[in-house]
């Protein structure tokens, strides 16, 4: 396995693979995944965009992650901003790296891929804070939750519902640098 830094063009070149990994990891329907293609491609043009990918020996995508500087006018940023109290907004969103996606194919999970991807992304993020959202789950049984807690993420919002998704999400954050 090898971890690689990706530019936006690299992610777009492997967009089919990225969407496949995303779908496997999140359990989303094919219809939903098709709508996400445009969003993911558009994210590559955001300020401070950075991405990582983990490939196996045959160049198959095992996992990926990316994020960028959050700012007003971006859908996720605005949803979270509107849900936070004023002081929390100022602290968490003033200079924030939004970790938009971090996924590993289910068969490859448990091998440290997500941790390496997360470490690389956060080590290189030139921001004061990082935020992410993840579906609510029992922390003891969720690999994602255990990973985020191990990296020092704390609760910012819990049981938050984003428009268009019935599942409750948690918004987690931590101060940077690592």
Bridge partners, residue 103, by sequence:
64
Q: Is 76 exposed, middle or buried (0-12, 13-18, 19+ CB in 10 A)?
A: middle
Q: Are strands 2-6 and 154-160 parallel, antiparallel or unpaired?
A: unpaired
Beta-strand (E) ranges in 45-168?
A: 50-55, 61-69, 96-104, 129-135, 154-160
Compute the half-sphere exposure of residue 168: CA atoms within 13 Å on the CB side of its CA.
8
Active site residue 66: no
Bridge partners, residue 96, by sequence:
129
Q: Return the structure tokens found at 117.
A: 């991807």
Q: Which residues are catalytic?
A: 148
């Amino acid at each position: 396995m090898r971890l690689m830094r990706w530019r936006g063009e690299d992610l777009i070149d492997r967009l089919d693979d990225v969407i496949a990994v995303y779908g496997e990891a999140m359990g989303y329907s094919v219809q939903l995944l098709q709508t996400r293609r445009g969003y993911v491609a558009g994210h590559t043009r955001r300020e401070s965009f950075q991405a990582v990918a983990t490939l196996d020996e045959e160049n198959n995508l095992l996992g990926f992650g990316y994020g960028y500087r959050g700012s007003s006018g971006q859908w996720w940023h605005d949803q979270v901003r509107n849900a936070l109290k004023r002081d929390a907004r100022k602290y968490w969103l003033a200079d924030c790296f939004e970790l938009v996606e971090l996924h590993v194919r289910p068969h490859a999970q448990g091998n440290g891929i997500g941790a390496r991807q997360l470490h690389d992304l956060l080590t290189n993020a030139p921001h004061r804070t990082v935020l992410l959202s993840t579906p609510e789950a029992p922390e003891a049984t969720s690999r994602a939750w255990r990973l985020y807690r191990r990296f020092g993420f704390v609760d910012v919002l819990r049981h938050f519902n984003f428009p268009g998704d019935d599942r409750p999400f948690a918004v987690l954050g931590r101060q940077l640098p690592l």
